[in-house]
Structure 1
């Protein structure tokens, strides 16, 4: 049986005994109903994972002892930063979850002209924290040891003015730019529009900022499908899929 795996944002080292955070404690004691002497794996987002033994298990308190550290690299050599127009409901959660599984290094949620989601400052902070939690859960499931960064929400123009990458791509179905003919990049910035698509003005702004228009096939994809399909192609060409 697979050993349960959790994110624990602490400095970890072999021989250390410490108490787990509240969320992990609840999952171990109340959901999995684990017992002392059983093993779990922890990672702290810094590139290693740690095999641990449960030393004490109570409903609201779990202590573990770190047995060994293993330095495993599961991050893609291709750094993909996604500028994603915010979508409604669970669609944004789905995008972040699957993008994390595919190796995304960071994402900036974007307000665009046709974005139907409007959030005040307080709700923006709450949503950003929620999205980071989605990414953490996806890392636990996919065996990633480094967390992707979900940055604070920006306007499209703010992102275009500041994003830096070897290759900048905007999904635009009115193009036949072949990706395979481009020089191999170490980093890619990928701009994904909203459900109604980017406006012509926004596409032109992206082009002016150095983005290349690209299509991933003849069909128009939904806003939550496009980044998944695009990353699969990018990781196959220049990353670690295939």
Structure 2
């Protein structure tokens, strides 16, 4: 059986005994039904992982003893900030999960003219919390030890106006450039992915004013969630650690 990886939202030290967070304890105790003597791998958002053993477990609380720590850096040399116009239903969750697996560092949900998601402040706050949990779960599954941040949602123009020393890219079906024609080296990318209906002409003009470069992925029209993952993969192959 594979040793479960569990995120702990506080610094860890070898030799200590700790109580897992409520959410982690529920997963270990209720879902996995693990008990004393069984092993876990913990990580705390640094490049360290920790071998641990369960000492106490019930339906609400799980205590573990941390035995050893080791360096385990798995981050790409490419820093990727994904600006994703929010999509409906499970598509946004899917995009966040897979973007984390592919190495994205920061995700900002965006509102645009053609964004199909309408949420009040309370529901939006809950969504952000849910998406951050999805990012954590994706790290537990894929082996990443640093947790990508899911930021508060903002308007497309406010996000485009933020200062960023990296390369700014906007996917556009009639662009003249492809990812393979971008000059090397690139260490930081701010990647904009629009809604299912695409960005409006005014929004495309606005991105150009803020220094975004239009790029083309290929001859076929992709869904928004497919576009994000295809672009991230292509960027990691050219500038990051895939392939």
For the aligned pair, the TM-score class normalised by the smaller chain equals over 0.9
| Structure 1 position 228 matched with structure 2 position 237 | no
Query: What's 1:42 paired with?
Result: 42
Query: What's 1:99 paired with?
Result: 99
Query: What's 2:63 paired with?
Result: 63
5+ residue gaps, structure 2: none
| Cα deviation 1:129-178 (Å, max 9, x = unaligned) | 11101100100000000011111000011001105142111000102313
Q: Secondary structure at the match of 1:235?
A: helix
Query: What's 1:109 paired with?
Result: 109
**Structure 1 residue 11: Cα displacement:** 1.6
Contact 1:216 1:230 in 2 (8 A): yes
Contact 2:178 2:217 in 1 (8 A): no
**Structure 1 residue 223: Cα displacement:** 0.8
Query: What's 1:133 paired with?
Result: 133
Q: Secondary structure at the match of 1:12?
A: coil
| Cα deviation 1:60-82 (Å, max 9, x = unaligned) | 12110000111111011100101
Q: Secondary structure at the match of 1:103?
A: coil
Contact 1:113 1:198 in 2 (8 A): yes
| Cα deviation 1:185-213 (Å, max 9, x = unaligned) | 10001110001000011011011111110
Distance 1:2 1:70 in 2: 18
Q: Which moved more, 1:32-41 or 1:98-107?
A: 32-41
Q: How does 1:1-242 map to 2 (within 5 A)?
A: 1-181=1-181, 182-242=183-243
The RMSD of aligned alpha carbons is: 1.0
5+ residue gaps, structure 1: none
Using the size of structure 1 for normalisation, the TM-score is 0.97
Distance 1:34 1:27 in 2: 9
Contact 2:179 2:217 in 1 (8 A): no
